[in-house]
Structures are given as structure tokens and as C-alpha cells.
Amino acid sequence: MPRFIVSHRLAGRIGAARSASQEAHETVRAGIRGFANVVSDRRQTAGTRGLMIVDADAREMLQRQRQAPPDILIEPEVRRRSARFTLAALTGPPAYPAGTGASLNLTVRSSAGHAPAATVQVMLTNSQTGAATSATAQTDAMGRVSIAYDARQWWPSTAIVTPHSGQWSWWGTPSNGAAITLSDLPRGTPIGWWHQLLGISSYRVSRGQGIRVGFADTGAGPHPCLAHVQSAGAFLAGAHDSAAGSANDVSGHGSHVAGLVGARPPAPSTGYAGIAPGADISVARVFQDATSTASNGDIAAAIDALSSDHNCDLINLSLGGTDRSEIELDAVTAAIEKGSLVLAAAGNGVGAIDYPAAYSGVVAVSALGLYGSFPSNAIEAMAVPSTSGGFAGSLFEASFNNTGPHMACTAPGVGVISTVPGMSPADAAYAAMSGTSMACPVVCGALATLLAADSGYTRLARDTRRAQYAWNVLVRSLRQLGLGSTVQGLGLVSAAAT
């Protein structure tokens, strides 16, 4: 059976039409309970979204939707994925079994000679039909990996190696028994090229102080440079888990995103700093694990909590999908009414802008790269456009960007380096990632530095005017690159060099 979400509208967009009583709401929900399989049912409280998740017949739910009061929202569940440029984006999931009989054996080493933990994905091409599939394995403690396939049908055409941390990725044509050497990431300064492009040339831990930034993502930490991050808990399958550790990162994505805004490396650390390390950071986990997608209902509940309970000035959504959600839009609108400006990744599918970035009122962000800032055999090289029209000097629009007239701005998002959980809580690990997932928090961090220095903003009440003021500050900071409005929006974000 398809899954549906039933929720109560929080945003005041329907004015006098919001007249149905709480008793009428409960009547609708009770009727649904009578025929549907209830997965979870969290009741509405003051300022908290009611969220009911059911598996039910689609025709019956459509009828209930027509009959429901205007402030009850009933819609199919839609799923969101992290907006990182990943192996899956390049090769897709395995389409056919690879078989056995032969194996591709590789050894992965760092430039210093040690064996980094890494994921190896091999693209296999069918020698008769040209069909493709892929197989994935993890390196062992010696850096070795063996991937089996049927040599009568397949040949290994491409290998992609993604280290957990510390090195650049690698891609190329594999040969059995080969040793692949990964280039180490640059370290030694808390400032990267993405900081410098924004106008930030030095590290100051108080930059962005007084501004609250919220994230709905895969969690954050543990990481010594993210020890100050506040947990908003986990929002999963309609329930809220506020236990200690509930917002810990399940994939590395959320730590990377949060670190781009708020990482605080201790002196004399060689780790990269966040753009606004003085900002207060709150993180809500909306992904179950590293391979899952997030539900529109859970994302909406997380947005509610970040805007209401955590009073976030900026909310970062480095996730998206192609389907529109009224429940998600209601949460975004309600957040704006509470003074929170919502920013979202435009997506990496080379198509139309993903939701929630495509909603009116959301700041949609695309990704830029800096040519020469990564090795030519790193996965980032696949983001370089094939024509000169995608360049503005040494900057380029990422070839994976979704585009459209709703694009607001652009920011560094190719080969940027940030925090990821290490092999132990004390491990200050860093990794390079790419995607509009990365560009979005760069904009959040830049805007946080501007808002922190704007006394007019900090005096405003938490209502729609506060969110509109933040948008105006962002727009005034943007500069055109000549890449076209559907790609760059109003231009490249910048930050106060304070």
C-alpha cells in the first residue's frame, strides 16, 4: 500500500478559512484510523505539528483529502535525498548481478603510503549489449579490495575510489592488481579558497556570533570542531527522538554541511574553519541511516522545531527531490512567518530545481567550482563543464547543477573541504565533497556573517519582516559572474570580511 501523511496546517496562509474545530480534525483522523494501517500518530500541541503516517488505499485517501477541512493536509509521502554529488549520481544503482568467476583486485594507498579507509565502486559494462551495472566494496585494513564479476559478460570499465577522509577521490580505468595512490587533501590553514572567494582571509572564531543556523540533515558529529553544535534530536517516521546522541551523524554529509558554517578548529590546528564559526548551530537528523532518504513529513517537523524551539535565523536544507509537498511548503511558510529564512540546495540532477528549493520564499542555491583546486583524476573533475560558456575566469558552474528561473544565487560547492566524523570521537577528520549540498551552507555562513554585523537585523522581532530583511541583505551582497540567471541566480554570494 502507498504511504500517506496527515498533518495540521501551521502557516497562516488561509486566514478566515481556517475555521474547522479541533474536534473536526480529530473526526477526520479517527476516520482514517478506521481503515488505514497507522504507522505513527503524533498529536498536535501548541506550536507543534500533528503528524500521522498511514499505509492506505490511494483512492480512499484522495476522497478523505477532498472532504477534509482546509487546515488538514493529506498527501502521499515523498522522499528527499542529500544533494551531494555522489557515485550513485554517476553510475546509478546496480541494474544486473555481476556474477562470479573473475575478480578485480585493487590496493588503495595514500601519498604517504598508509591504507586509508575507502569505498571502491566499479562500473561494469556488458561486452555484448553495452548495458551497465556497478559493484561496490570497502577496502580492508591493508587497503585491499576484491570485486567479483562474470568475465564472460562484463568488463570493468571505470573504478571510483572515495576515501572516508584525508584524501581526494580517484577515478579511472582499473587494471587487475593495480595500486591506486590517492592525493592528500591540502591542510595547514583554517582558510580555504571558498573562504577567500567570499572575501574572508583570516580565521576569527567570533565571526557570525549572535546568529542561529539550523540544519535538517543526516545529523552532525561527533567531531572535536563541532562540539558546540546543539542537538534538535531525530525526526524519523513521524516520531521525535530527543535522547542524547539522537542527532549524531549517520553518513558524514550533515557534519560536512554543518562544518562549512560553524567548524571551530582549536589553535594551532591545521583544520579548516567554518565560514561563521561564531554562529550558534542546531542540527535535526531526518535520515535513518547512510543509505536512506528522508520523508517530507519528518523534514516539515524538523523545520518547525528549528524555527520555533531553536529560534533559528537561517535554516539550511541540503536535500531535495522532484515532488512537491504541501506539508513541507506549509512548514517553510510557517518558518518564514517566525522570522527564519530558509535556504535549500537546488539539486544535482541537471534538471529543474528540486523541492524544497523550488518553493516560493526559499533561497535556491547552485554550485561553483574553482579550476585547478583539485586533482584531474578526482571525482570533482567530472563537475567541470565541457564548454567555455560554463566558465567565469577560473570559476565554473558545476555541470551537475539543476537550473531554473527560481535560482537565487550561487556559491562554492565543488571540492570544498569540511568536517566528517572520524574513526573515534576525538578524530578531527576532514573530507572533500561536492554538490549543491555544499554550496547551500556556504551561503548560510556568508549571510550569517553579514547579519551578525547588522544591528538593524538583530533588533527585529521574529516575524516575516525579519526573514525578508535577511533576504534583502543577501541580495545586496551578490555579484554577477555572467553565467546566466538560471544557473547563478542574482550572483555569487559574498561575506563581510570582519
* Catalytic residue positions, numbered: 217, 253, 437
Burial of 471 (0-12, 13-18, 19+ CB in 10 A): middle
CA angle 410/303/440 to nearest 5° reads 15
Q: Strands 179-182 and 294-295: what pairing?
A: unpaired
CA distances from 172 to 72, 180, 343 (A): 52, 10, 35
Cα–Cα nearest to 413, from 432, 439, 386 = 439
Burial of 125 (0-12, 13-18, 19+ CB in 10 A): middle
Q: Strands 280-285 and 230-236: what pairing?
A: parallel
The sign of the CA dihedral 476, 353, 80, 360 is positive
Three-state DSSP class for 220? Answer: coil
Contact 394, 476 (CB under 8 A): no
Measured CA to CA, the distance from residue 125 to residue 294 in angstroms comes to 31
Grid cell at residue 469: 530583511
Contact 238, 297 (CB under 8 A): yes
